[in-house]
Amino acid sequence: MGSSENSGTAKDSEDVDSLDNLLWWQKASIYQVLIQSFQDTNGDGKGDIRGIMERLDYFVALGVDVIWISPIYESPMCDMGYDISDYRKVNPIFGTMEDMELLVQETHNRGLKIILDIALNHTADTHEWFQTSRRARKNPRLGKRDWYFWSPGKLDEQGKQVPPNNWESTFSGSTWEFDEEAGEFYLQDLHIFGKNQPDLNWDCEEVRQELYSVLRFWLDKGIDGFRLDTMNLVSKTSAFPDAPISKCGSTWQPANYLFANGPHIHEYLQEMHEQVFAHYDVVTLAEMSCGVTPCQALQYTSKHKPRPEVNLIIQFQHVELDCQDGDKWMLREWELPELKRVIAEWQETLVNNGGWNTVWMENHDQPRGISRFTTNTPRFRALCAKLLALWQFTLQGTNLIFQGQELGMVNPDTFSEDMNRDIETIQYWNEACENASSGEADKLDLAKKAIIQKGRDNTRIPFPWTDDPHGGFCEPTAKPWIPAFNHESEWCGIHQQRCPESVWTFYQSMITLRKSNPTLYHGTFEALDLDNPLIWAYKRESKHACYLTVLNFSPGATSWSYVDHGVDLSLRKMLISNHQTCEATSTPDIILLRPFEGRLYQLSCNSQ
């Protein structure tokens, strides 16, 4: 667990009145389950609902409060279930509605809550709504004619029918796809799969009301809230103007500001809250794609708003530092002060203006945090995992943990075409191969490096429960849907739960410590020494408690002069460290930190 004077049990003397106004989701740690890769119980190589049910006591032991489950709805599974073909049916590969209802019951029996992931911006093109809408373009009597965005497009100089504007999709190419049956183009922001995920038209009230009905359907079954996929894309600039030219020589131009955070977004989210969520004690966790600033986040979440919208948002600014000009696959080296400034801006803006942060470092769309923010070097792996836990659990907001993060899982750090199951990665790799055959062979090596570092399959490999074949994710005779990584036994769940010095045990301690010290999730945030390229230090403070977090993000020993930044450590108590041995000797003015060492101090209120 690491050196600690009170091993995660110290409590601050928090003003009870200040905590009474906090809601359950503000105090919670939320654990994301990617169902396909969590636990298989029927031998088909895919995780399922009963697999989650079998592992409920694991969540209790870890200490998390909420389980967030990736989409379980009927789907052709082109996009991990985010392409939904029926919102009211459970995908048979995951189980039955009876399984889902039992999971809700058993989760609540253990004092846990459960939220579902749902995509309301788009559907699968196999959804009955889209099938009816495409036919209705020529036969309006069928209904649902305007449930999706349709356009006849325009004619180019050769008289060819082309998309109505030059919008570039989030991933590549045009946001518009031509449909032969309708004889028109339809809109899809994400455009990952060519023609598989058409955007719903939220400007049509019938669409909104039907989606609200879907949400009530699941809430009435006892679901405790939703993670709302790409939620800030549901309002578009309806006139569909061309985007200004910012990519010379390209037909398609970036247009995020025209289809993200659109003109009616706040109106629609307020309506959804009033008609649905205000009637349940639930949490809404909205993913904000294509960019959102801290000030925009306040417009969605601040408690000072007269009309509530959503409770929490997921933003991506801190995980886009390693992108070049917004291009995920163009790798960029970044420096620690850049990351510190991004986090500090989000912390201070939301804390000081009635907002509430989410704190996270990895999920089903992002690589492992250790590999991204620190190093994969084996000798530092456990230290880095614990360092990042100290960082995440001492920031203001609601914590999000992705499955395997608590084990210190890292990117596989190898390239294999068999590992490429994510369609975004497959498309990128295919394009790289085409370019390589045209005389750009060097780009193939760059593409491999980018996939190894940034590919979404990095966090989608099966969960390593044991050191059995496939990590105990499925039977040895079954074939996992994506190849399992050969983890050493010390990194498996069963071993780590038994080891008092494991990453898992450290996460358990940090979750407990955070609950015992409420200032860590609701107090103010003060960044210290922002320009320091190696040390990350900040204070968390409330009326009756003050804490100092000091993190060494380098593989070498270093020192930090705390006196230069107005910190008094004369009456400090070190609550926890990620090193197993005692605190290194410090001078009266300087803290000496070992490689990747992190410490959490409780300070005297009189010495702040």
Report the CATH number at residue 238.
3.20.20.80
Question: Is there a domain that residue 14 lies in?
Answer: no
Cβ neighbours around 273 below 10 Å, total: 17
- Predicted confidence band at 604 (pLDDT cuts at 50, 70, 90)? confident
313 and 390 both lie in a single domain = yes
Each residue's pLDDT tens digit, 216-226: 999 999 999 99
pLDDT band of residue 608 (cuts 50, 70, 90) is very low
Percent of the chain with pLDDT over 70: 94
pLDDT band at 18; cut points 50, 70, 90: low
Considering the domain architecture, whether residues 148 and 234 belong to the same structural domain is answered as: no
CB 463 within 8 A of CB 62: no
Give 515 or 486, the one with higher predicted confidence: 515
Contact 539, 547 (CB under 8 A): yes
Cβ–Cβ under 8 Å, residues 584 and 21: no
pLDDT, tens digit, for every residue of 545-601?
A: 999 999 999 999 999 999 899 898 888 899 999 997 776 666 778 999 999 999 999
> Measured between alpha carbons, how far is 255 from 268 in angstroms, rounded to an integer?
21
For 550, the domain range is: 523-607
> Could you give the angle at which helices 381-393 and 503-516 cross, rounded to 10 degrees?
20
Determine, yes or no, domain membership for 10. Answer: no
Choose one of 448, 477, 510: the last residue of a domain. Answer: 510
Rounded to the nearest 10 degrees, how much is the dihedral formed by the CA atoms of 25, 28, 34, 38?
-140
Active site (annotated) includes residue 86: no
pTM: 0.94
Distances (CA, A) of 287 to 99, 237, 266, 316, 355: 27, 19, 14, 9, 16
pLDDT band, very low/low/confident/very high, at 430 (cuts 50, 70, 90): confident
pLDDT in tens, 227-243: 999 999 999 988 899 99
pLDDT in tens, 127-143: 999 999 999 999 999 99
- Is 2 a member of any domain? no
27/158 same-domain check: no
Residue 17 has pLDDT above 80, yes or no: no
Asked if residue 58 has pLDDT above 60, the reply is: yes
pLDDT at site 432: 86
In the predicted model, is pLDDT for residue 91 greater than 50? yes
Give domain status of residue 272, yes or no. yes
Active site residue 181: no
105 and 132 both lie in a single domain: no
* Average model confidence (pLDDT) across the chain: 92
Contact (Cβ atoms closer than 8 angstroms) between residue 403 and residue 362:
no
Of the candidates 229, 309, 362, 597, the residue annotated as catalytic is 229
For 502-552, write each residue's pLDDT tens digit: 999 999 999 999 999 999 999 999 999 999 999 999 999 999 899 999 999
CATH number for the domain that contains residue 527:
2.60.40.1180
* Tens-place pLDDT, residues 63-83: 999 999 999 999 999 999 999
Do 212 and 248 fall into the same domain?
A: yes
* Rounded distance between C-alpha atoms, residue 504 and residue 386, angstroms: 9
Q: Which residues of 325-337 are buried (b: 16+ CB within 10 A; e: fewer)?
A: eeebbeeeeeebb
Whole-angstrom distance, CA of residue 405 vs CA of residue 32 = 10
Q: Give the chain's domain count.
A: 4
Position 169 pLDDT exceeds 70: yes
Average pLDDT over residues 8-27: 67
* Sign of the CA dihedral running 334, 337, 340, 345: negative
Q: Say yes or no: 235 and 181 in one domain.
A: no
Catalytic residue among 287, 309, 365, 422: 287
Residue 6 maps to a domain = no
Say which CATH number the domain at 137 has: 3.90.400.10
pLDDT digits (tens, 9 = 90+) for 300-330: 999 888 899 999 999 999 999 999 887 888 8
Q: Kindly state whether residues 155 and 249 are assigned to the same domain.
A: no
* 3-state SS, residue 46: coil
164 in the same domain as 290: no
pLDDT beyond 50 at 7: no
In this prediction, residue 54 carries a pLDDT of 98
Phi, psi angles (nearest 5°) of residue 165? -150, 180
Identity at 483, one-letter amino acid code: P
In a domain, 95, yes or no: yes
DSSP string covering 413-471: ----GGG--SHHHHHHHHHHHHHHHTT-THHHHHHHHHHHHH-GGGGTSPP--SSSGGG
Judgement on whether residues 113 and 212 belong to the same structural domain of the protein: yes
Is 418 contained in some domain? Answer: yes
Confirm if 253 and 247 have CB atoms less than 8 A apart. Answer: yes
Same domain, 354 and 496: yes
The pLDDT of residue 8 is above 50: no
Higher pLDDT, 21 or 385: 385
Claim to verify: residue 368 and residue 250 sit in the same structural domain: yes
Based on the fold, state whether residues 121 and 134 are members of the same structural domain.
Answer: no
Question: Is 197 domain-assigned?
Answer: no
Choose between 414 and 386: higher pLDDT. Answer: 386
Name residue, tokens 């023609």.
Answer: 195
pLDDT of residue 333: 94
pLDDT at residue 13 is higher than 70 = no
